[in-house]
Structure 1
């Protein structure tokens, strides 16, 4: 099984050299104003937890950019914006990601999850090139929203992305119906969208994120 990592690119087989050089040249750390805008839009919960040394080491080994890693260290893991976004421990979700994309690859590391369980993961493509990919677990597809962390923050701050990708209206309805999310919980569809469910509040419930991931992975096998 395995969702194909269809967005895969690397310096050897896809992008022209001039494009690779351009990507490196535009990769500037996000400004403090951008991080502040993110925190204002997606306010952190009061029970964020400090990442473990093992989690930090895993991020460093994968090549996670310093700006993002510093933010994680400073603010912690857990719910942001009442759980519509979650900074997650990559070690807890790495095996889940590898099951989705069809194999272990330490250059891919999950670091953020939406309130509906979709995973944002970092992909180190070599030569200083990386992207942030999005794994949509409900429609079983991977896309690439951003090529730099600054571009990723801009993406998350976009109201259209908030509504269409993070499912803002449905998220708010789910909170009213099911209650708030714990750090390890998500809202999901029952039955799943791949087997007849619909993106409608009547199909939404909540539960443990890792359990639902495993269920959808088994259904896709």
Structure 2
């Protein structure tokens, strides 16, 4: 039996958790135990699929979003939706994913990019155990928030304008940034709507071909198309 990892204990104390009304049942726990590391599973077993930062980031059941990964990955040579798992997502559609092969990686749905250090960092080597890496799956508030065209965080203003998110909801740009243009004038709170996360994420997954990319201090650098 695992104890709750100290990172998760910190998240509970410092990241404004929002607890679900129901915890996962035995069958759901048994299913998730087959695909997720022990540290993450022990947290989910005890507390459920918790949201953090007042709803800015939500843990989720990977099977709920497997169809989204299938749309993004297609027939990609490195990624497959059956062995990659969405374990959480931000209010604006940044997916935190887990893979036994690549461990933690991220898909930024609004921008159509995926970041996976195991595939883009030359000489990448595992620096810690799977349990320790999985315990860092919850981003801090600054990292989880999304910036408008002026570089100002959007979440608190979206909550004020549209109300707090319920479990399974997200804030989506209308029109999507894949249509209106990322970092353009439509990237504002006024162009946000509250909507079901799975529905919106499925639409974003089909609007453009995603790119495996790396981040520099000033830009997103595409490495190759995905799919």
Confirm or deny a common fold (TM above 0.5).
Answer: yes
Counterpart for residue 33 of structure 2: 60
Q: 107-116 vs 150-159, which deviates more?
A: 150-159
Task: Report the alpha carbon displacement of residue 120 of structure 1 after superposing the two structures with TM.
Answer: 1.1
Counterpart for residue 118 of structure 1: 94
Distance 2:168 2:180 in 1: 25
Query: Secondary structure of 2:111's match?
Result: coil
TM alignment of 1:131-210, pairs within 5 A:
131-144=103-116, 148=130, 150-151=132-133, 153=135, 156=138, 158=140, 160-163=142-145, 169-196=153-180, 198-210=186-198
Query: Secondary structure of 2:58's match?
Result: strand
- Answer yes or no: is the 8 Å Cα contact 1:121–1:132 preserved in 2: yes
Counterpart for residue 107 of structure 1: 83
Distance 2:86 2:142 in 1: 23
Question: Cα deviation per residue 1:180-211 (whole Å; 9 max; x = unaligned)?
Answer: 00101000111111111533112111100111
Counterpart for residue 38 of structure 1: 11
Query: Secondary structure of 1:99's match?
Result: helix
Question: Cα deviation per residue 1:70-102 (whole Å; 9 max; x = unaligned)?
Answer: 111111014222211111111211122222222
Distance 2:74 2:138 in 1: 27
- Answer yes or no: is the 8 Å Cα contact 1:99–1:217 preserved in 2: yes
- Residue ranges of structure 1 left out of the alignment (5+ in a row): 1-28
Task: Report the alpha carbon displacement of residue 216 of structure 1 after superposing the two structures with TM.
Answer: 1.8
Task: Report the alpha carbon displacement of residue 158 of structure 1 after superposing the two structures with TM.
Answer: 4.8
- Answer yes or no: is the 8 Å Cα contact 2:19–2:47 preserved in 1: no
What TM-score results when the alignment is normalised by the length of structure 2?
0.70
- Answer yes or no: is the 8 Å Cα contact 2:87–2:98 preserved in 1: yes
After superposing on structure 2, the runs of 4+ consecutive aligned residues of structure 1 that deviate more than 6 Å are none
Counterpart for residue 18 of structure 1: none
Distance 1:46 1:90 in 2: 18
Distance 2:117 2:68 in 1: 20
Question: Cα deviation per residue 1:102-130 (whole Å; 9 max; x = unaligned)?
Answer: 255422111111111221111111xxxx4
Higher helix share: 1
Counterpart for residue 216 of structure 2: none
Task: Report the alpha carbon displacement of residue 174 of structure 1 after superposing the two structures with TM.
Answer: 0.5
- Answer yes or no: is the 8 Å Cα contact 1:145–1:152 preserved in 2: no
Query: Secondary structure of 2:165's match?
Result: coil
Task: Report the alpha carbon displacement of residue 48 of structure 1 after superposing the two structures with TM.
Answer: 4.1
Task: Report the alpha carbon displacement of residue 43 of structure 1 after superposing the two structures with TM.
Answer: 2.4
Q: Report the CA distance shift for 1:96/1:54 in structure 2 as closer, same or farther (over 3 A).
A: farther
